[in-house]
């Protein structure tokens, strides 16, 4: 079973971003997670292409870029050029999701689709075999540090069932309110990748916290 940890740079110290990037580089984390927010689809603005490019120069792990923006199809090649390895778009923002997923893959990136908390997993039935990632939001997107939505466990289980029944090889990524109290349960429900920002970067020892998250629920 895949057990990836993807620290979210949304919670990093932007006055000394290089330091936090180096902490992740030296840790057991697998990806850097970058949330791109436009202030339109979600009620917040984060950072854009220049920051992604800057992170790419320092990162020694893949960049997992999550587009929380309207009309993401306009920017696919730009994020590829900026250094994205994985590019995930929201189901709720794509008028032609299949086409957008195809374009992401043709550009050489892993393609993901994100579901907001209110969006049913069943809506992925026609697209699931084409995607590499399913990102399940376990909080309402837009801000870090929110409380985890408990019904997310059932949603992850439904996504895992859909993936198995369809023959898809998609991984399940979860993002929002993830910490050491729920990491084991999320892996048990079927999650492959945990995205967490505050839990990692606000801890006294981020590298140790990443290790604990990765090992959550495993027998010692």
Provide the 3-class DSSP secondary structure of residue 102.
helix
Catalytic residue among 20, 30, 35, 64: 35
Catalytic residue among 30, 38, 64, 175: 175
CA dist 158 and 115 (Å) reads 13
CB 94 within 8 A of CB 72: yes
Two structure tokens written together for 119: 């969006």
Two structure tokens written together for 137: 């939001």
Comparing CA positions, the residue from 30, 40, 32, 64 lying closest to residue 135 is 64
Query: In degrees, to the nearest 5, what angle opens at C-alpha 68 toward C-alphas 44 and 157?
Result: 115
Active site residue 175: yes
Per this entry, what is the length of the chain?
220
Task: Give DSSP secondary structure letters for 162-207.
Answer: HHHHHT--PEEEEESS--TTTHHHHHHHT-SEEEESHHHHTSS-HH
CB 80 within 8 A of CB 87: yes
Task: Give DSSP secondary structure letters for 115-139.
Answer: E-TTS-GGGGTTTGGG-SEEEEESS
Active site residue 132: no
Question: Strand 4-7 to strand 110-115: parallel, antiparallel, or no bridges (unpaired)?
Answer: unpaired
- Active-site residue set: 35, 175
């Amino acid at each position: 079973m895949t057990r990836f940890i993807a620290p979210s740079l949304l919670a990093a110290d932007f006055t000394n971003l290089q330091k936090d990037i180096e902490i992740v580089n030296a840790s057991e984390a697998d990806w850097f997670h970058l949330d791109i927010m436009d202030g339109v689809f979600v009620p917040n603005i984060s950072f854009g292409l220049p920051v992604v490019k800057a992170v790419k120069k320092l990162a020694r792990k893949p960049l997992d870029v999550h587009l929380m923006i309207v009309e993401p199809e306009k920017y696919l090649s730009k994020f590829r050029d900026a250094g994205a390895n994985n590019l995930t778009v929201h189901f709720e923002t794509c008028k032609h999701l299949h086409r957008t997923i195809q374009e992401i893959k043709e550009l050489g990136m892993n393609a993901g689709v994100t579901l907001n908390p209110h969006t049913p997993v069943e809506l992925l039935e026609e697209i699931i075999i084409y995607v590499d990632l399913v990102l399940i939001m376990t909080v309402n997107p837009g801000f870090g540090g929110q409380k985890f939505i408990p019904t997310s466990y059932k949603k992850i289980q439904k996504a895992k069932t859909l993936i198995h029944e369809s023959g898809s090889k998609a991984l399940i990524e979860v993002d929002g309110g993830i910490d050491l109290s729920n990491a084991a349960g999320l892996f048990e429900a079927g999650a492959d990748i945990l995205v967490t920002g505050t839990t990692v970067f606000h801890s006294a020892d981020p590298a140790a916290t990443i290790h604990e998250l990765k090992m959550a629920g495993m027998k010692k």
